[in-house]
Amino acid sequence: MKTFLALLFTIGSIVTLSSCATPYQIATSDSDVGFHSMQIDSITYSVWFTAVGNTPFADVNRYEIYGAAQLTIQKGYDHFIIMGTLNSLPTIRMYRSTPEDNTFETAYDARAIVTTMAPNIQK
């Protein structure tokens, strides 16, 4: 009976773990799940988050914004704008201060985003 219960617990644990959504992480290779970035020019990057199939779309979007903010800080910038998409990937441009160009509606303060979102990011 103990063996059966242990087996049942193990199977239950595997099913539970495999059904979990993808936590936020930096991808270490192109095939990994996690946050990815690809440099377009010195201040422009395509960013995306690759997740397992059952990760809610809202989480993927949140992880992309959070990752973009972290990348902006890491590269020595303070703000970023979302320019749209390039090859179906969200594309950001980074700035050292709030951009003067009003072409894009919202400039995001990278540090404010990281500070605000960090407590709610599943890692």
Domain boundaries, the chain: 22-120
Q: Helices 110-117 and 57-74 sit at what angle, rounded to 10 degrees?
A: 130
pLDDT at 11: 32
pLDDT at residue 12, rounded to an integer: 31
How many whole angstroms separate alpha carbon 50 and alpha carbon 112? Answer: 24
- For 17-64, what is each residue's pLDDT tens digit? 344 688 899 998 888 989 999 999 999 999 999 998 888 989 999 999
CA nearest to 72, candidates 106, 38, 43, 101: 43
Give me the pLDDT at residue 15, please.
33
**Is residue 8 over pLDDT 80?**
no
Digit-coded pLDDT (tens) for 74-112:
999 999 999 887 777 889 999 998 777 666 668 899 999
